[in-house]
């Protein structure tokens, strides 16, 4: 069986877990704190990032969340999440990169640094100006998601895709860390509320990161 090395607030691990959940692929979780740079972990992934997906029986060690999700797409024939025409697939992948890189860089990464790493690793208080800027940028991102959802049924078009999973992964971590102000973003809120009720998402939402408490509405479908 697959083992997924991750920590509860890793958005890239969440993206892979949502995909495996949607496809009904079984896996067990192994806790990894990439910021500890454990030798064995660096040997598995020199980039020192989670997720890493391992199947010891088959001697397989996969890393990089895009490489992993493409691998899962190619080796599973249920619930394809990068499907349709080549143009539609390019739009799905463009949006995955948008959430993995732009949303992560603007919002999730600074929130994780200020509210998780500073608390667990550096024992420092968060920098409120960095938090304010991340929340300001989050608001701009929600405007863009509102626009997408207004013009399409799902993030990339008429079907649920990897783009929705990548978006939900980043948004859920940012929401856990109190970085999302949902007011005025009814389209994104409705999409996220629907997403929260999916069986692939429930187990992620019930997990907690030690010493960090999410807002009271974090797990609720109506929020």
Q: If binding is defined by CB under 8 A, does position 42 make contact with its own copies?
A: no
Give the per-residue contact string, 153-192, with its own copies (x = CB under 8 A; - = no): ----------------------------------------
* Six token digits for residue 56: 């010891």
DSSP state of 113: I
* Six token digits for residue 39: 């030798």
Strand order in the sheet with 52-55: 27-31, 2-6, 52-55, 60-63
What residues contact 219, with CB distance under 8 A and at least 6 apart?
A: 196, 205, 206
- Output the smallest distance, CB 47 to its own copies, in A: 6
- Output the smallest distance, CB 166 to its own copies, in A: 12
Q: If binding is defined by CB under 8 A, does position 28 make contact with its own copies?
A: no
- Output the smallest distance, CB 175 to its own copies, in A: 22
Q: If binding is defined by CB under 8 A, does position 40 make contact with its own copies?
A: no
- Output the smallest distance, CB 173 to its own copies, in A: 19
Binds its own copies (CB under 8 A): choice among 1, 30, 42, 60:
60
Binds its own copies (CB under 8 A): choice among 8, 29, 35, 66:
66
Separation of alpha carbons 179 and 184, rounded Å: 15
Name the residue nearer to its own copies (CB basis): 1 or 42: 42
Alpha-carbon distances, residue 44 vs 48, 68, 139 (angstroms): 8, 14, 36
Separation of alpha carbons 166 and 49, rounded Å: 17
Give the per-residue contact string, 137-156, with its own copies (x = CB under 8 A; - = no): -------x------------
Q: If binding is defined by CB under 8 A, does position 23 make contact with its own copies?
A: no
What residues contact 101, with CB distance under 8 A and at least 6 apart?
A: none
User: What is the number of other CB atoms lying within 10 angstroms of the CB of residue 154?
Assistant: 17
Vertex 68 angle, CA 65 and 71, to 5°: 150
Name the residue nearer to its own copies (CB basis): 73 or 207: 73
Separation of alpha carbons 45 and 145, rounded Å: 32
Give the per-residue contact string, 92-131, with its own copies (x = CB under 8 A; - = no): -xx--xx--xx-----------------------------
Separation of alpha carbons 208 and 34, rounded Å: 17
- Output the smallest distance, CB 62 to its own copies, in A: 5
Name the residue nearer to its own copies (CB basis): 6 or 219: 6
Binding span for its own copies by CB under 8 A among 27-35, 61-69, 113-121, 172-180: 61-69
């Amino acid at each position: 069986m697959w083992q997924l090395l991750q920590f509860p607030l890793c958005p890239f691990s969440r993206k892979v877990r949502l995909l495996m959940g949607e496809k009904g692929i079984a896996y067990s979780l192994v806790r990894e704190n990439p910021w500890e740079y454990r030798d064995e972990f660096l040997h598995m992934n020199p980039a020192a990032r989670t997720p890493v997906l391992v199947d010891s029986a088959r001697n397989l060690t996969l890393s990089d969340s895009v490489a992993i999700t493409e691998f899962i797409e190619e080796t599973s024939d249920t619930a394809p999440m990068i499907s349709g025409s080549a143009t539609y697939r390019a739009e799905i992948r463009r949006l995955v990169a948008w959430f993995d890189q732009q949303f992560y860089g603007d919002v999730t990464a600074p929130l994780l640094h200020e509210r998780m790493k500073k608390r667990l690793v550096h024992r420092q208080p968060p920098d409120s100006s960095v938090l304010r800027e991340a929340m300001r940028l989050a608001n701009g991102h929600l405007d863009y998601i509102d626009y997408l959802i207004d013009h399409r049924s799902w993030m990339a078009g008429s079907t649920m895709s990897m783009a929705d999973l990548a978006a939900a992964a980043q948004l859920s971590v940012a929401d856990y860390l109190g970085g999302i102000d949902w007011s005025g973003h009814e389209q994104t809120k409705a999409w996220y509320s629907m997403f929260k009720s999916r069986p692939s998402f429930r187990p992620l939402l019930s997990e907690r990161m030690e010493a960090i408490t999410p807002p009271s509405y974090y797990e609720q479908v109506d929020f």
